[in-house]
Amino acid sequence: MDWKWMRLIGEARVVVVPDNIRMSAEIFDKKTTIDLRKKHIGPSCKIFFSDDPLKIVRAKGQYMYDEKGQRYLDCINNVAHVGHCHSDVVQAGAQQMQLLNTNSRFLHDKLVLYAQRLQAKLPDKLSVCYFVNSGSEANDLALRLAKQFRGHKDVITLENAYHGHVSSLIDISPYKFQQLSDAEQNPFVHVAPSPDVYRGKYRANHPDPASAYANDVKDIIDKVHEKGGKIAAFIAESLQSCGGQVIPPVGYFQQVAEHVRKAGGVFIADEVQVGFGRVGTHFWAFQLQGEDFVPDIVTMGKPIGNGHPMSCVVTTKEVAQAFMSSGMEYFNTFGGNPVSSAIGLAVLEVIEKEDLQGHALRVGRYLTNQLEKQKEKHPLIGDIRGCGLFVGVELVRDRLKLTPATAEAQEVIYKLKEQHILLSADGPHRNVLKFKPPMCFAKEDIDLVVEKIDHILTELEKALGMKLANILNGGN
């Protein structure tokens, strides 16, 4: 940074920015930003690449730019669903903000129009919306609705699931509570095996993994009943994301829903990560299970507002009526405000206008095909799985034993960052490379990232002395 651009204010070195570039530039030099963050931001708020964090000052489409103007290809920000700072969304929000922003106790056309448009994307049965502000708020409300429905209390969740950061959701998020050595599991929460056909309890070679995993849920229900408990809900992400980009076998949700409903509970589909056309073939990821499957409650978040904090719970009339009958009013200061509604409407319009769902299907297929070719070359790649622009690449040190290649996955992420590509690794072993880019991701972006991954894996395998021929012959 040129010192002409700096002046000292107290201890902080401040970058002096001319008006014409003020919007895109930094206020502090990077070191000051780091120091102030350390001083004032809670230390458990982790930052990407903590050894050398990125300072991103603007973004557009699938690209982010640091303070020096360096461009980064964004393969991870599914929140910027229709592209970072999409002008239609920005304008919709700004125009509404100039006119009015208030709470939903007043009639407003954008709120009802938005509810109507969102509902049109869902099966008819899911017709009642509650607008809230984050994925966590949506899931917390979903649990309240489920518990109020029949007065039941027990909840079944999946191994490695993450549903949000508030207390009620940490309780049903093994991804989080298992990080605590002295974690005491809430006695009303029961964890079912993750329906992961690559690494899970029943794998692709099982004759019927969907029924086997669903029967495990049934066993949990039976045990809860034996102890006098009653099932309020089964909750699952339609595709597990933090859990390692897991795609449940088709038919699993239908069978689980049958067991859960028989027990008087409801099925909650968490679409916070995967909704809004990302999976390409369908608008919602739960629809991958088949037309015959409809959840009782669907929660939405992240992509719904393209970065604006908003979210939604959609449910059936029966569940909403039961919630009403408690006699307690539901009020949410910001949920469904005119600005959020305007932004939500703009996001839906852009998805349609730019055929982003169709695009996700086409480029997503291209991405998985290109990655499959890498799998033929690289012994470190154990599995490629994906739907549309939701893709996981699981790295293993041994394709037979499935030994997680955790350090190697981290190495890939760090090396990609050096080459200005942002990707992350997740799953219980942090060995699954997670692709969930803005939906405007292009074929050229795929060619670039796959070429770089190819190069990094070649180097890593050379260093590890790994050869595909050895692995195919049964050794590693």
Ligand X SMILES: Cc1ncc(COP(=O)(O)O)c(C=O)c1O
In the shown chain, the binding pattern of residues 210 to 249 toward ligand X, with x for contact by CB under 6 A and - for none, equals: ---------------------------x---xx-------
CB of residue 9 to ligand X, shortest distance in Å? 34
Asked whether position 164 contacts ligand X by CB under 6 A, the answer is yes
Task: Give least dist CB 306 to ligand X, A.
Answer: 13
Which value, to the nearest 10 degrees, does the dihedral of the CA atoms of residues 400, 403, 409, 411 take? Answer: -110
The reply to whether 131 sits near ligand X by the rule CB under 6 A is no
CB count within 10 Å of CB 283 equals 18
Residue 264's region, left for phi above 0, alpha for psi from -120 to 50, else beta, is left
* Near ligand X by CB under 6 A: residue from 110, 163, 218, 397: 163
Q: Kind and range of the H or E element at 467?
A: none
Least separation in angstroms between residue 135's CB and ligand X is: 2
Tell me the CA end-to-end span of the chain in Å, nearest whole number: 48
DSSP string, 212-254: HHHHHHHHHHHHHHHTT--EEEEEEESSBSTTTSB-PPTTHHH
- 63/83 Cα distance (integer angstroms): 8
Length of the chain, please? 476
The 8-class DSSP code of residue 79 comes to: S
> Interface with ligand X includes 134 (CB under 6 A)?
yes
Rounded to whole angstroms, the Cα distance separating 380 from 383 reads: 9
**Residue 270, interface with ligand X (CB under 6 A)?**
yes
Q: Work out how close the CB of 93 gets to ligand X at its nearest, in angstroms, rounded to a whole number.
A: 18
Residue 439 CB, nearest distance to ligand X (Å)? 17
What track of x and - describes contact with ligand X for positions 273 through 292 (by CB under 6 A)?
x-------------------
Closest chain position to ligand X (CB): 135
The neighbour count for residue 55, using CB atoms within 10 Å, is: 14
Q: Cα dist. 174→128, 194, 431 in Å? A: 29, 11, 17
**Which residues from 291-310 bind ligand X, rule CB under 6 A?**
301
Tokens of 373: 């070719």
Distance (Å, rounded) from C-alpha 315 to C-alpha 203? 33
Smallest gap from Cβ 369 to ligand X, in A, equals 27
Size of interface with ligand X, in residues (CB under 6 A):
15
Annotate 292-325 with DSSP letters as a single string: T---SEEEE-GGGGTTSS-EEEEE-HHHHHHHHT
Considering the rule CB under 6 A, would residue 162 count as an interface residue with ligand X? Answer: yes
User: Does residue 272 touch ligand X according to CB under 6 A?
Assistant: yes
Among 62, 96, 104, 139, binds ligand X (CB under 6 A): 139
Stretch that binds ligand X, among 22-30, 116-124, 157-165, 459-467 (CB under 6 A): 157-165
- Comparing CB distances to ligand X, the nearer of 154 and 271 is 271
Site string for ligand X, 81-110 (x = CB under 6 A): ------------------------------
CA dihedral 273, 276, 278, 279 (to 10 degrees): 100
Region near ligand X per CB under 6 A, out of 12-20, 55-63, 270-278, 413-421: 270-278
Q: Select 224 or 268, whichever has its Cβ closest to ligand X.
A: 268
446 burial (CB, 10 Å; 0-12 / 13-18 / 19+) is buried
Binding ligand X (rule: CB under 6 A), the pick from 32, 62, 136, 168 is 136
Stretch that binds ligand X, among 26-34, 44-52, 86-94, 269-277 (CB under 6 A): 269-277
CB 73 within 8 A of CB 47: no
In the complex, the residues that contact ligand X under the rule CB under 6 A are: 134-136, 139, 162-165, 237, 241-242, 270, 272-273, 301
